[in-house]
Structure 1
Amino acid sequence: MEANQITFDSLPKAMASLFDEVKQIKSLILESSTGQQGDKLMTISETAEFLHVQKQTLYSYVSKGIIPHHKRAGRLYFSQNDLIEWVKAGNKRAFDVEEEAQKIISKRKRKGGSHE
């Protein structure tokens, strides 16, 4: 008879042991998969700490559309992978003179600064 043979009487204990082992394996798989990709969703506080900026600065970046983010149920989330790519890319977006001029003109019109 094999030493690890399961009998009807030892079945509940064997199932509990098996359940624990599967739970540990699942936990290890999840840890390693997120560890390899390095991606996780972060809150505004976690992102501010990650980027070493104030929360208000992040809100400004979000309102200007210059930082990658996701919004669900009124809450902001940031992908760590997206943020790393954003930092690496720096400010490489093309500078469109027409677009920037239109922004300045529209701001002046809203403030009543137009002298037309």
Structure 2
Amino acid sequence: MEANQITFDSLPKAMASLFEEVKQIKSLILDTSTKEAGDQLFTIQETGEFLHVKRQTLYSYVSKGIIPHHKRAGRLYFSKSELIDWIKTGNKRPFDVEEQAKKIISKRKRKGGSHE
């Protein structure tokens, strides 16, 4: 009998080993594909340098929901791949008609200009 041959009794151990190896291979593939795609997280400073805009402009974009971002532990992060997609789509954010209408009505009510 060959040393590498799997028997019925050694099958569970062999399967566990196989699953672990597949898990490691999958992890390596995902890590490599993420690095090749250039996906990395930028800080606000790095994002400003990448987009050639000031920090205040970025904060404005974030508060208006214009730019894709992530917030962790009170800090802003920006995905390079999401920023590239955002630039390619023309920096457009999704337009919600109902939300925009509510904002306009709210502004008019504050100014005292109601059309009822």
Q: How high is the TM-score relative to the length of structure 1?
A: 0.61
**What 5-or-longer segments of structure 1 have no aligned partner?**
1-28
Describe the SS at the equivalent of 1:71.
strand
Separation in 2, partners of 1:113, 1:92? 27
Equivalent residue, structure 1, for 2:44: 44
**What 5-or-longer segments of structure 2 have no aligned partner?**
1-27
2:66 matched to 1:66? yes
Where does 1:14-29 land on structure 2 (aligned, <5 Å)? none
Q: Which portions of structure 1, spanning 4 or more consecutive aligned residues, are displaced by more than 4 angstroms?
A: none
Separation in 2, partners of 1:85, 1:93? 14
Structure 1 residue 103 displacement after superposition: 1.2
Aligned residues: 83
Identity among equivalent pairs (%): 63
Determine if contact 2:65/2:93 at 8 Å carries over to the other structure: no
Where does 1:99-114 land on structure 2 (aligned, <5 Å)? 99-109=99-109, 112-114=110-112
Separation in 1, partners of 2:50, 2:60? 16
Q: Aligned pair in 2 of structure 1 residues 40, 63: CA closer, same or farther (>3 Å)?
A: same
Separation in 1, partners of 2:93, 2:67? 13
Deviations 1:48-84 (A, max 9, x none): 1111111111101111111110100100000000000
AA at the equivalent of 2:59: Y
AA at the equivalent of 1:42: F
Q: Aligned pair in 2 of structure 1 residues 65, 86: CA closer, same or farther (>3 Å)?
A: same
Alignment RMSD (CA, Å): 2.3
